């Protein structure tokens, strides 16, 4: 999506963030914004997922707004 100039934020588990950043940089997207989540939501109750998302929604939107058109770097 980023190649098509669509605002992009990469959502990644915290333990894989450094690997994701390395991969993005190697692909020429060193400034691609990352949104780290502490763990996989697969086994979370739906209410808990919504609570976590609502608590960080502004952060996610801010990443889209400020870096949504990250250029190759």
The total of other beta-carbon atoms located within 10 Å of residue 63's CB is 20
Where in the chain are the domains?
2-67
- Write down the pTM of the prediction: 0.69
Provide the mean pLDDT of the chain.
Answer: 82
* pLDDT tens-digit map of 10-26: 889 999 999 999 998 99
CA distance 63 to 41: 21
Radius of gyration over every alpha carbon of the chain, rounded to an integer in angstroms: 13
Tell me the three-class secondary structure of 11-25, residue by residue: EEEHHHHHHHHHHHH
Lowest mean pLDDT of 8-12, 24-28, 67-71, name the range.
67-71
Q: Please give the angle made by the CA atoms of 18, 47 and 1, to the nearest 5 degrees.
A: 40
Residue 4 confidence class, pLDDT cut points 50, 70, 90 = low
């Amino acid at each position: 999506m980023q190649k098509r100039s669509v605002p992009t934020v990469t959502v990644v588990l915290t333990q894989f963030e450094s690997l994701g950043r390395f991969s993005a940089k190697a692909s020429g997207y060193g400034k691609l914004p990352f949104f780290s989540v502490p763990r996989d939501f697969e086994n979370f109750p739906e209410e808990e997922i919504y609570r976590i998302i609502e608590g960080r929604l502004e952060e996610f939107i801010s990443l889209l707004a400020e870096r949504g058109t990250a250029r190759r770097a």
